[in-house]
Amino acid sequence: MRNLFLFLAKYYGFFVFIALEVVCAILIIRFNHFQRTRFLSSAGFLSANVLNAKSSVTDYFSLTNQNTELSEQNAALLEQLHNGTGQVRYIYTEDSCLIEEGMAPSIWKGTTVDTASTRKLYKFIPAKIINKTTLKLHNYLTINKGENQGVFPQMGVMGPNGVVGIVHKTSANYATVMTVLHKESRISALLKKNSHFGSLIWDGKNEFLAYLKDIPTNVSVVPGDTIVTSGYSDFFPEDIMVGTVENVDREPGSNFHTIQLQLSTIFRKIEHVYVIDFKDRDEVRALESNNINE
């Protein structure tokens, strides 16, 4: 027994090292697995407040660009209003607006959508990014809206130019967003010209390029084709811009294209986003969970 204590005393530094690294390993596994983190993130109270204060200073440096971008959006909205595309219903509240589906996507893309054909209601919650990463393998944004403003996990997030990501974790007034630039990210997207759909993934290498998987080789795809969201998941309405095809490849022996696409959202520039709240989400999820139980 005495020898054991002597042994422990002699090498205690090593045991402290091993013990702390085991704690680190547990933390890494516990907190970095997809959608299992709940706290200790930048949605946390302490860090979010510091980042918010920092953001309020750094915002001044990009005011000109932000103003230009916002006025462009306003112009597109006005154009939409006066062109009168179908029966568009919209209600403004303090800091969000209710828009019939079909209205919102066309704002960003400058095309018209027949709103009469769809009945789903989406609420768009404007939010500002207070922290972000773009160059890691798993990139997140932190936004200044949280549960008090109606932002909850699993809601889609879009920017002025297209898809941004999906809300990951929320606190009272902040939320983190798992961006398209995340190795675990999967978003349902389709080729606009022929409606073949696949899933959008990112390989962790280039912040401007992503891949569309599961498009069979008998479908013709050429560089320049437009890729939009499919609307088959409840994260995003259909027809939100994702990107354009950059390069089409086929691996030997594979029945699927490897489609490389240029993302329409430039993550390092984006500062304002819209969280998409699908009003009938709970109803749709409840209905779909019945299918699984049967």
Partner 1 sequence: MNNVIFVNATRFLVLLLIQILVLNEIELHNFVYPFIYPLIILLLPFETPRWLEMVLAFFLGLLIDIYANTIGFHAAASVWLAFIRRGIMQLNAPAGGYEPEQKPVMAIMGFNWSIIYIGLGVLLHHLVLFFIEASSFEYVLSTLAKIGVSTLVSVFLMMLYQFITVPKQ
Give the C-alpha distances (Å, rounded to integers) separating 30 from 17, 22, 40.
20, 12, 11
Q: Does 52 bind partner 1 (CB under 8 A)?
A: no
Q: Does 136 bind partner 1 (CB under 8 A)?
A: yes
Q: Does 235 bind partner 1 (CB under 8 A)?
A: no
Are residues 243 and 228 in contact, defined by beta-carbon separation less than 8 angstroms?
no
Q: Which stretch binds partner 1 (CB under 8 A): 2-10, 48-56, 66-74, 247-255?
A: 48-56
Q: Does 24 bind partner 1 (CB under 8 A)?
A: yes
Q: Does 20 bind partner 1 (CB under 8 A)?
A: yes
CA distance 101 to 164: 18
Which of 6, 7, 8, 27: binder of partner 1 (CB under 8 A)? 27
Q: Does 174 bind partner 1 (CB under 8 A)?
A: no
CA distance 282 to 284: 5
Q: How many residues bind partner 1 (CB under 8 A)?
A: 41
**CB 46 → partner 1: shortest distance, Å?**
8
Taking the alpha carbons at both ends of the chain, their separation in whole angstroms is: 61
Are residues 133 and 103 in contact, defined by beta-carbon separation less than 8 angstroms?
no
Residue type, 101: E
The DSSP bridge partners found for residue 278 are 122
The DSSP bridge partners found for residue 109 are none
Q: Which is nearer to partner 1, 145 or 182 (by Cβ)?
A: 182
Q: Which is nearer to partner 1, 8 or 284 (by Cβ)?
A: 8
Q: Residue 160, SS3?
A: coil
**CB 166 → partner 1: shortest distance, Å?**
15
3-state percent helix, strand, coil for the chain, nearest multiple of 5? 30, 30, 35
Site for partner 1 in 152-171 (CB under 8 A): none
By CB under 8 A, name the binding residues for partner 1: 12-14, 16-17, 20-21, 23-32, 37, 40-42, 44, 46-47, 50-51, 54, 131, 133-138, 140, 176, 204-207, 268
